[in-house]
Amino acid sequence: MAVSGSFVHAADRPVEVLLVDSRQLVRTGIERVLTDSGYLVVCASVAGFAEAIRCARIQLPQLMLVNLPGERVDVLDGVRKVQRQFSNMRVVILTDPSDLIVQERLLQSGVAGLLNGNCAPEELFVAIDTVMGGQRYVSKSVAQKLAERRMPGRSATPFDGLTHRELQILLLVAAGRSAAAMARELCLTRKTVNSYRNRLLDKLQANTDVELMHLAMRYGLVSLPG
C-alpha cells in the first residue's frame, strides 16, 4: 500500500494512534489499514470518548483518530474535553462532508484534521503526515463546501450565533430526545437543559420543539432517515 513520502523516514519513530469508533467491525478494519502501513502503531482501539480519554492518560498517544458517524453531540463534546486535557495530541475526525455547521465548530475547537469519511487510505496517510508535521489538514471536498458556505452572497444560518452547549441541545431536540434523556447524556440537570432549550426557542424565534426540528432540517443540520 502506498504511503506519503515522509513516512518512509519514520520507521524508527512510528506515530502512536488512539482509534475511536463505536463499530467494532469498522474499527478492526481501520486498525488493520493503519497497522499495515508499517509506520503507524494503534496503541488503543476504543468505542467512545470516555474510554478514549482514560486510555490517553495512560498511553499518551500522539494522535487520536475519530470515526463516530451520527454521534455529533458526543464528538463536539469529546473534542473539547480532549483539547483541554491533551493539548499536544493531534485530533483527526472522519466526517460527513455535508455536516458543515458541525465541521466549522470542530475546526474552531482546534481539531488538526477533518476528512471525508469515505476517503481512501492514501488520503488518510497524507492527513496524518500533514498534522504530525504541525499543519492542519482538511479534505478537499470538505474544504470546498466550507468555503462555499462563506462566499459573498451566502446568508448566515440561524445557528451561527449559538453557543457550543446550545448547538448540542438543538441537535438532541432535533433527534427527538426528551429533557430527561438530554440531561443524562450531557450530565446536566433537567432544569439546566430546559433553560438552554428556552434560550434556543428565543434565539431561533421558535415556539415549540417541532419548530426547532423543522428549522434544523431546513438548513441541513439534521435529515430524515431513509
d(CA 22, CA 184): 19
pLDDT for res 5? 44
- How high is the pLDDT of residue 151? 67
Please give the model's pTM, rounded to 2 decimal places.
0.84
What is residue 3's predicted lDDT score, i.e. its pLDDT?
Answer: 44
> What percent of the chain clears pLDDT 70, i.e. is strictly above it?
90
For residue 99, the model assigns a pLDDT of 80
Relative orientation angle of helices 100-109 and 72-85, to the nearest 10 degrees: 10
User: How high is the pLDDT of residue 153?
Assistant: 58
User: How many residues are present in the chain?
Assistant: 226
Burial of 143 (0-12, 13-18, 19+ CB in 10 A): middle
Q: What domains sit in the chain, N to C, each tagged with a CATH number?
A: 5-149 (3.40.50.2300), 164-218 (1.10.10.10)
Note the Cα 80 to chain centre separation in Å: 10
Low-confidence ranges of the chain (pLDDT < 50): 1-5, 7-9, 226
Per-residue pLDDT reduced to its tens digit, 173-217: 988 899 999 999 899 999 999 999 999 999 999 999 999 988 888
pLDDT of the residue at 225: 52
